[in-house]
Amino acid sequence: MRLTIISGAVRHQSKSNTAKIIGAFRQGFEAGGNTTKVWFLSDRRQWDSARAALQTEENVLFALPLYVENVPGILLEFLEGAAADAPPQACGRLSFLLQGGFPEASQSRCCEKFLKTLPGKLGREYGGTFIHGEMFGLSLLGEKRAKAMLKPFAEAGRRFAQAGRFQGADFANLSSPEYLSEKQIRQSRHFRPAQKCLLTVIARRLGCKTRLDARPLIEDTGKIKSSER
Amino acid sequence: MKNGSLLVVNTLPKNDPAVQAAIGALTAKAETGEVMHTEDMKIQPCVGCNFCWLKTPGVCAIRDDYEALLRALLRYDTAVLIAGTALGFLDHRAKHIVDRTLPLATMYTHVVDGQMRHIPRYDKRFRFGLLYAGAGEREYLTYWMKRFALNLGGNSLGAFPIEEAGEVSLCV
C-alpha cells in the first residue's frame, strides 16, 4: 500500500511531536514493504504538493495535534482550500491520527466528531481516527521515555498496513484510556507537587526566568495594567 | 436594563451589514463595551512553540497585536466572537484567533469533573459566546464552545447564527 501522510502540526518539522509520531508510525507501516510520502503543512512551500496528493492519492492520512478542541488553524486553512478544489480524481480514504497532551482519549472526542465529517465533504470515505494522548512530554522527557511513548504508534502503523483503516479493537487497545481511573486521579493529586517541580526544572532548562503560573498581564492588585488600557 | 461589560471580537469584514447589525444588537444591552476588528490587527497564527507555557509564562512569543486582545479578554465580563464558518466549523481566520488563547492557561494541570484540565492563569470566570455567519453546524459549534470555555475555566453562552445576535445579547 502507498500512503500519503499530511502533518497538520503548526510547529516546524524539526521540533514537532507530530513529526516524531509520524516517524514511528512509518516504521511500523513500512515494515511490510509499504511506502509513504509525507508533507508538512508547517512549511507552506509544501502546500501545493500536499493538495495535489490529496487530489490524486487513494490513501491519505492526516496526522495532527489536538488544538483547542479541534484541528489547528493552519490545517483548517489547508482543508478549506482543498474543499474548494474539484472533486478528487482518486476515490479513497481519509484517515486521521490525532495526538493530544492530556492522557485521556475522551479529550479528543470533540475533534474526532469534526474529523468524521470531513471525508464526506472532500469526496472521500472515512478511514477512522486513531487517538492517543499524553504526548506533551515527548520532546521534553528524554530519549528513553520518548522511545517508550512512540511504541504504540509504530504498532498502529503495522496494524494500519494490514487493515487499511483505523477500526476495531486492535486500535482501541492501543489508544489511551477513555478516562482516568479513580486510582490515577488520586495519583495525579498526590504527585502534583512533583509534577510542578519537574515542569519548573524543564522550564528553567528552556531559559524560563519567572514562575510558570506568572500573571504578566495584571498587576498585583489584580487589575489590568493601566498603561495598557 | 443594561448588562455587564462586553468585548466583541469580530473576525469578519467590519463593513458587512450583518456584522454591523449584530454588533449594534450586542452592544445596545451592554453597560460598557469594546469592539475589536481583527482585520485591522496584525495577528499571526500560533506556531506551537509552547513558550507561553514554559519559557515566558503567559506571554506569547509572537510579538504582534494579539496581546491587546488577551488583555481585553481579561478586562471584560463577557466576550463574543463573531466568526465565519467553513466545513461546518469556524473558518481558519477565527480558529487562528482562538488558537492564540493558550497564554490564558498555565502548564499546570488538575482534574475537574473526572477530566484533566490546565489550571487557568488568571482568577477570572470567562464567559464566551459565538455568533457565526454561513453554514455552521450549530449543534457541533455549541458542543465545541462548551469544551473551549471549559478549558479556560469559563462558561459558554452558546453558538448562534449571526442573525440571532439579539438572542446572545439577552444571555450577555
Whether residues A200 and A155 fall in one domain: no
Mapping DSSP onto H, E and C, the string for A146-159 reads HHHHHHHHHHHHHH
Please report which confidence band the pLDDT of residue A226 belongs to, taking 50, 70 and 90 as the band edges: very low
Whether residues A176 and A214 fall in one domain: no
A87 burial level (CB within 10 Å; 0-12, 13-18, 19+): exposed
Whether residues A119 and A148 fall in one domain: yes
Query: What is the distance between the alpha carbons of residues B155 and A93, in angstroms, rounded to a whole number?
Result: 37
- Cβ–Cβ < 8 Å for A37, A61: no
Q: What is the CATH number of the domain that holds A80?
A: 3.40.50.360
For residue A140, what are the domain limits?
A: 2-180
In a domain, B1, yes or no: no
In a domain, A112, yes or no: yes
For residue B133, what are the domain limits?
A: 6-171
Whether residues A64 and A96 fall in one domain: yes
Q: What is the CATH number of the domain that holds B117?
A: 3.40.50.360
Query: What is the distance between the alpha carbons of residues A131 and A174, in angstroms, rounded to a whole number?
Result: 9
Query: What is the distance between the alpha carbons of residues A108 and B47, in angstroms, rounded to a whole number?
Result: 20
Contact B70 A217 (CB under 8 A): yes
Query: What is the distance between the alpha carbons of residues B115 and B109, in angstroms, rounded to a whole number?
Result: 10
Tell how strand B89-90 and strand B105-112 pair up: unpaired
Torsion (CA) A196, A201, A205, A211 in degrees, nearest 10: 50
Contact B86 A114 (CB under 8 A): no
CA of B63 to nearest chain A CA: how many angstroms apart? 14
In a domain, A57, yes or no: yes
Give yes or no for A189 touching B (CB within 8 A).
yes
Query: Which residue among B46, B74, B107 sits closest to A73, beta carbon to beta carbon?
Result: B46
pLDDT for the residue numbered A172: 87
Query: Which residue among B92, B114, B147 sits closest to A76, beta carbon to beta carbon?
Result: B92
Query: Which residue among A110, A214, A228 sits closest to B71, beta carbon to beta carbon?
Result: A228
Whether residues A105 and A146 fall in one domain: yes
Number of domains in chain A: 2
Contact B101 A218 (CB under 8 A): no
Query: What type of residue is A111?
Result: C
Residue B20's SS3 state is helix
A5 burial level (CB within 10 Å; 0-12, 13-18, 19+): buried
In a domain, A164, yes or no: yes
Contact B55 A206 (CB under 8 A): yes
Q: Which of A41-45, A83-87, A91-95, A136-140 has the lowest mean pLDDT?
A: A83-87
Contact B74 A218 (CB under 8 A): yes
Please report which confidence band the pLDDT of residue B172 belongs to, taking 50, 70 and 90 as the band edges: confident
In a domain, A219, yes or no: yes
CA of B110 to nearest chain A CA: how many angstroms apart? 7
Residue A220 pLDDT greater than 90, yes or no: no
Q: Is B108 left (phi over 0), alpha (psi -120 to 50) or beta?
A: beta
In a domain, A185, yes or no: no
In a domain, A138, yes or no: yes
Cα separations (Å) of A17 from A36, A195, A198, A223? 18, 20, 19, 37
pLDDT in tens, B37-76: 999 999 999 999 999 999 999 999 999 999 999 999 999 9
Please report which confidence band the pLDDT of residue A223 belongs to, taking 50, 70 and 90 as the band edges: low
Please report which confidence band the pLDDT of residue B115 belongs to, taking 50, 70 and 90 as the band edges: very high
Give yes or no for A134 touching B (CB within 8 A).
no
- Cβ–Cβ < 8 Å for B49, A16: no
pLDDT in tens, B120-132: 999 999 999 999 9
Contact A196 B108 (CB under 8 A): yes
pLDDT for the residue numbered A228: 40
Query: Which residue among A118, A189, A208 sits closest to B54, beta carbon to beta carbon?
Result: A208
In a domain, B59, yes or no: yes
Q: Which residue has the cell 472515512?
A: A126
Look at residues A65, A73, A68, A67 and name the one whose alpha carbon lies nearest to residue B148. Answer: A68
Higher pLDDT, A90 or B6: B6
Whether residues A149 and A113 fall in one domain: yes
| Chain B positions in Cβ-Cβ contact with residue A188 (cut-off 8 Å) | 109-111, 116
pLDDT for the residue numbered A216: 96
pLDDT for the residue numbered A77: 97
In a domain, A158, yes or no: yes
Query: What is the distance between the alpha carbons of residues B3 and A148, in angstroms, rounded to a whole number?
Result: 53
| Chain A positions in Cβ-Cβ contact with residue B59 (cut-off 8 Å) | 216
Phi, psi values for residue A29, rounded to 5°: -65, -40
